Structure 1
Amino acid sequence: MKLEATTVIHAPHLHVESRGSAFVVIDPAGPNWGATDRRGAELLTSLNGGTPFSTLVERYRAAYDLDPVKAYHHVATLVGDGLRHGLLATAPIVAKPYAGRAAHLGEARLEEVWLHTNNSCNLACTHCLVSSGPDGDLGLPTDRWLAVIAQARGLGVRRFYLTGGEPLLRPDAVELARAILADPEAELVILTNGIPLTGHRVAALAELDSARLRLQVSIDGASAASHDAVRGKGGFDRALAGIGNALDGGLAVTLTTVVTAVNADEVAAVTRLAGTLGVRHHHLLWMHRRGRALAGSAPPVAKVIEVVRAAVAAGQEAGVTIDNVEAVKSRLNVPAGVRRDLSNACITSLCVSWDGRCFPSASTAGEADLCLGSVLATPLAELWRDSPVAHRFRAATVEAKGQCIGCSFKYLCGGGDVEHSYFWGGDLLADDPYCELHQALIRDALFARVAERKRLHTNGRSGFDAPLLFTAMGEGSIHCASAEPIPAVALSHSECVVSFDLDAPRAKVRAFYGSAAEVPQADLCCPVQPDPAAIDHIPQEVIDRFYGCGSPIGAAQIQPGETTLDLGSGAGIDVFTAARQVGAEGKAIGVDMTDAMLAVARGYQGQVAAKLGFDVVDFRKGFLEEVPVAERSVDLVTSNCVINLSPDKKRVFSEIWRVLKDHGRLVFSDIVAVEAVAPAQRQDPRLWGECISGALTEDELLAFLERAGFYGIELLSRTFWREVEGYRFFSVTVRAYKFEKRQGCVFTGQEATYVGPYKGVSDEEGHFFPRGAVVAVCTDTAAKLCHPPYVGQFVVTDPDGETVSTPCCTPSGGCC
């Protein structure tokens, strides 16, 4: 929106967390949060009541002794970010009333079921919640379990867990797994101690769809001595052998470790062991107070926090992810305004125990007070919907949890784990003994997210130094693989939760454009068509698969000998067009993630080379967020209606900046929205593929470029594209340049004079150049002004007062 001097800016009451130079401002009631620097935090928290924009600018100018133009740019940048992310508003912010989650659970469906298939086990672990052992219950017969699976599937359940006891001791374990995965949308996790993973059993499991099957293997020590002290003699070596068998069979494995007072100092070593074994995920469990664990001792919470951080550090070295940490990161990044309220136990998740009784979760199996009834007497649907225990869980809410009153993390954390509250305090809303751990994990996750996203914004080498929001709650969380509607309330998962998968939306796009590669689809994008004279050397089969929305190649002014890079090159039309223009001494690279499109492009590469008399084309498979091109190696990056397909556009622009040479340029066409795209549209895979769902607003697009370090950003064209459900979309072509600062601002006496035609102009760094006025500039600014797009608009003089010829600096950065 346009910010006037009189525009009044409002903020909610904000809580601030800081670590080093990073600050996170939290709206506890929203909930919402955003990450910034000290300047941004001070500005945001100064908004007591409504504050006119002009007052903010003057206050900021005085605080940091800046000239008015630069102060305006800085404040406008931060306020714009705050408005886009909902942390600020132009009207008073009033928190929505919330009486608890029960009112929002009417549409909840059962999503997962834990099948506690047997309480018999080949081990008798000292911390077992359900006191399993060799003499434990063998569980229901096969036909009963198959009936439970069928009932669960009828309720829409798509994720199943087999646990025990040791589920793989059952002769029918593979049969049950096969029955679950017969549904092509189902997923299965098998929790095991690893010992039964022998050759024949692994071979049988490997015949199933390994992409939808994961093994979670318990390892409670990094050596036989420590592991076997908990799980029994010989268990460690046999478990490692089983893990090796599973990995050799192509099965996915996660290690699980219960953090106890005995093994706390060894947990990080287990993480390193996972890396050595080739396992990439490690999940940690906190001790309950039930079963044999009653006789054990849980470490102090401060020690558990230390253990988790040590495991994370070990994982970073070993290439192993600590699933608990990734789960917290995922929970923090739900859309702003979504309140987290306790766990999914008894709401979207149930457990059926070895004797047919139903419980809220696996950790509550066998607890008589929490039994919903038996599936042997009552259908699963009735137990889930109508039992008193189910109603008791639905009525519970973080709003009524005394421990959470006044906590700024209440709706981010959700009140912790109801199972721990129950077993440690005797009530679902009792204090969670691991509250401090939850808070520490949230803080660590927030600042890890800040560090990751900050690198994509102000890389410190472009000169752009305004305070901004590096990231905010919900950024990138809504995309074409987010199939479910945005909930008002989120529920925490009591077990291993997979973090956001960047490849999920990629897979949707690959499938969409894979089909478009096989059969041309004339209705995809394409509000413009390329110049026939520029493509007369390209086969018609390639032209028929042109799905662009602009003409970036035509606007790029490609020079002979340049190296060009086209992102999302598809069938190759823009790469082949660039190849003619760069000539035999240049290079034209295309990057695409879709095998079918790459096959088309490579298939016609020889014909294009024959017509041109040379071949300078190179097609590479890769992602926009991880471009397979060396840094500072490209003169021009183009893209045609592709960047909006990415779920992480900030990372895309960061990658483009990385690969460009100094004074290199980005010229791309894409679709933008007049106003922010509705969440329902963002979740539509077809609209995503048609360049609609992933569209930024024009304001966002230009802001993302500026924050990635680009300068000289220019909107070259804007053409109406289409209207979808009341939202208007335009095709735009944009050009932007890169210059990398290497020595900071160095003044040698150079000066610049803006010659017009405007009364005055300012750049991305906040420099203001009045027409005809002599302004002292550093060597970096002088280098920019002597190159496109500024060349010809400024007279730059050296320290002797002589006019510098343009360009005055070489592309490699040497100054005149």
Structure 2
Amino acid sequence: MPPAIESSHIFLYVTEKCNLACRYCYFRDKRNRSLSLETIRGFIFFLEKEGMKPRRFILSGGEPLLVWPLTKKVISFLKTAVPKAEIGLQTNGLLLDAPKIAFLKTNKVNLEIGLDGLPATTSAWRRGTTNASFAHLVEMLLLCRLAGLAVNCNMTVHPQEMPRFRHNFLFLAQLPFGKIDVTPAAFAAWDQAGRRTFKQDYAWIAKKYHAKIYAGDARRFSPQGAWDLSLHPHGYLLPGDAFLCLPEKLKQEFSLIQFSPQPRLNTKTLAMLKQLYQRFGRKEKKQTYRDYIVSSFKIVNDLTGKTGIDWKTFEELFDFMTRVNRQDPSETKKGQTNDGRIGE
């Protein structure tokens, strides 16, 4: 009997605490909580009970390096409990040091670091970044490379940075990253000129640096395929990062799992969310990963009764990016299975 939920990526938001205050962050209603190891153990028990065999866990936040003792325990537990799964860590990288890099390398944990380009651009949007911390991050990136640790980059692009888009990407392309995932800022106002410039510059980047950009979204999958599952403090399980922007009350209301007294599936919530994904998803036989993200944006707007996320803009930009990425055969060659999102 197939599991009630299928998921290839499971995000563990180990903490809501963060040492930055990014202006475009859509993790709303943070309360400085962290996941307990007990909750994660219960969650893994739930996955086993449901017959789910996720292939990748991604530890995120907030900033997981702020709660390093907990993050280490989670990694060690996952290595034992789900030994065949890959583990990734999303971080701003400012708290990296040699001992942390050694631990991550020993445990085969891949890194994805959020960095938006030149120091001036990064500090403008990732508030709390300084020249000294930026220099330290670059030094740690070099140390990661010397250690043989795989590191990818997530580059968030705000429409106000359009005049510097190419320059920011070229700066990141010189750093020791594997892939760079270019992501338009979700809550920003993208006017027609900004969208046009983004398309022009992304097409140029994809042509000149096709080996450097993440283009795994060109792969298609079934509309009824696997969800991203996100386990949040206080133990809320939701389908995808878009749900991070929900207020606390709605996170609780639409959580897929109830942890007390034992972990169990909220079947009514699951059925309701499946209906919403069918309603707001594309009708094509096959979808891309970014189609799934757009569907999540639509659902979040519907749940909140607002239009806080301009999903039409993202559908337009994501469709363009996918078309451009498909033009490069090196990203879609036969047999490729790694989607490149983290640790490629």
Normalising by structure 2, we get a TM-score of 0.78
CA separation in 2, counterparts of 1:132 and 1:243?
A: 31
- Structure 2 counterpart of 1:448, from 313, 328, 333: 328
Does residue 227 of the first structure (1) align with residue 122 of the second (2)?
yes
Does residue 377 of the first structure (1) align with residue 257 of the second (2)?
no
Displacement after TM superposition at 1:236 (Å): 2.6
Is contact 2:277-2:296 (8 Å) kept?
A: no
Displacement after TM superposition at 1:305 (Å): 2.1
CA separation in 2, counterparts of 1:243 and 1:149?
A: 32
Q: Which residue of 2 aligns with 1:139?
A: 34
Is contact 2:7-2:228 (8 Å) kept?
A: yes
CA separation in 2, counterparts of 1:152 and 1:240?
A: 38
- Structure 2 counterpart of 1:496, from 332, 341, 344: 341
Displacement after TM superposition at 1:284 (Å): 1.7
Larger radius of gyration: 1
- Structure 2 counterpart of 1:251, from 149, 154, 159: 149
Name the aligned partner's letter for residue 209 of structure 2: G
Residues 1:498 and 1:447: Cα distance change in structure 2 (over 3 Å): farther
CA RMSD of aligned residues (A): 3.6
Displacement after TM superposition at 1:438 (Å): 3.3
Name the aligned partner's letter for residue 147 of structure 1: G
Q: Which residue of 1 aligns with 2:217?
A: 327
Residues 1:193 and 1:132: Cα distance change in structure 2 (over 3 Å): farther
Q: Pairwise mapping of residues 255-404 of structure 1 onto structure 2 (< 5 A)?
A: 255-289=153-187, 296-298=188-190, 300-316=194-210, 319-320=211-212, 322-323=213-214, 325-328=215-218, 330-331=219-220, 340-341=222-223, 348-365=227-244, 367=246, 368-369=249-250, 371-372=254-255, 375-377=258-260, 379-383=262-266, 386-388=267-269, 390-396=270-276, 400-401=279-280
Displacement after TM superposition at 1:326 (Å): 3.1
Higher helix share: 2
Deviation digits for residues 617-658 of structure 1 (CA, Å, limit 9, x no counterpart): xxxxxxxxxxxxxxxxxxxxxxxxxxxxxxxxxxxxxxxxxx
Q: Pairwise mapping of residues 597-636 of structure 1 onto structure 2 (< 5 A)?
A: none
Say which structure, 1 or 2, has more relative contact order (CA 8 Å, 6+ apart): 2
Deviation digits for residues 604-627 of structure 1 (CA, Å, limit 9, x no counterpart): xxxxxxxxxxxxxxxxxxxxxxxx
3-state DSSP of counterpart to 2:89:
strand
Is contact 1:358-1:372 (8 Å) kept?
A: yes
Is contact 1:326-1:498 (8 Å) kept?
A: no
Is contact 2:276-2:299 (8 Å) kept?
A: no
Residues 1:236 and 1:147: Cα distance change in structure 2 (over 3 Å): same
- Structure 1 counterpart of 2:101, from 181, 194, 202: 202
Q: Which residue of 2 aligns with 1:121?
A: 18
Q: Pairwise mapping of residues 653-802 of structure 1 onto structure 2 (< 5 A)?
A: none
CA separation in 1, counterparts of 2:262 and 2:6?
A: 16
Normalising by structure 1, we get a TM-score of 0.36
Is contact 1:269-1:314 (8 Å) kept?
A: no
Q: Which residue of 2 aligns with 1:184?
A: 83
Gapped runs of 5+ residues in structure 2?
A: none
Displacement after TM superposition at 1:122 (Å): 0.9
Is contact 2:88-2:342 (8 Å) kept?
A: no
- Structure 2 counterpart of 1:421, from 294, 298, 303: 298
Residues 1:259 and 1:153: Cα distance change in structure 2 (over 3 Å): farther
Residues 1:177 and 1:387: Cα distance change in structure 2 (over 3 Å): farther
Gapped runs of 5+ residues in structure 1?
A: 1-104, 290-295, 335-339, 454-473, 483-492, 500-816
Residues 1:107 and 1:373: Cα distance change in structure 2 (over 3 Å): closer
Residues 1:434 and 1:203: Cα distance change in structure 2 (over 3 Å): same
Name the aligned partner's letter for residue 218 of structure 1: G
